[in-house]
Copies of this chain bind each other. A is one copy, B any other.
């Protein structure tokens, strides 16, 4: 598959693919004698993964780390497990934050409880993470 087709299928622009390659997110593809890049069909899923992960708030650097988790050989396995565990923490923190925001937004839709004053507002409060020596009864838990 040529770069133009990959770009179309993955919904990105050709320059973006070359940019990802320079950033080490995409492996260097095979080249024809002419220098044209030749991609494998799996690359489509990889590029879509990158775009999706970006929408979820990961930087390209972090996405690179996620991708590298895939390519683990048995030698680096403990390292990979540790990195994956750390990423799970990140992901769960994000889910908690989003759940809290969803709850607040629902309150707004259902009851418009957030009145006309500047007073305590569920939306702003929603993301006010617990800090040390504060107890917050309504902290959202990460659902299974």
Residues of A bordering B, CB below 8 Å: 40, 42, 45-46, 48-49, 52-57, 66-67, 69-70, 72-74, 77, 80-81, 84-85, 87-88, 91-92, 94-95, 97-99, 101-102, 105-106, 108-109, 112, 114, 116, 118, 121, 123-129, 143-144
- A-side binding surface: helix, strand, loop or mixed? helix
Q: Which residues of B contact A69 (CB under 8 A)?
A: 105, 108, 114, 123
- Is the beta-carbon distance between A66 and B123 smaller than 8 angstroms? yes
Nearest-neighbour CB distance to chain B for A112, whole angstroms, equals 6
Is A99 a contact partner of B95 (Cβ separation < 8 A)? yes
Partner among B66, B80, B91, B112 whose Cβ is within 8 Å of the Cβ of A77: B112
**A81 & B109 in contact (Cβ 8 Å cutoff):** yes
Q: Looking across the interface, which residue of chain B has its beta carbon closest to that of A114?
A: B70
A70 touches B101 (CB 8 A): no
Candidate in A48, A72, A101 with the most chain B CB atoms within 10 angstroms: A101
A42 pairs with B127, CB closer than 8 A: no
Name the residue in A72, A99, A123, A143 with the highest tally of chain B Cβ atoms < 10 Å from its Cβ: A123
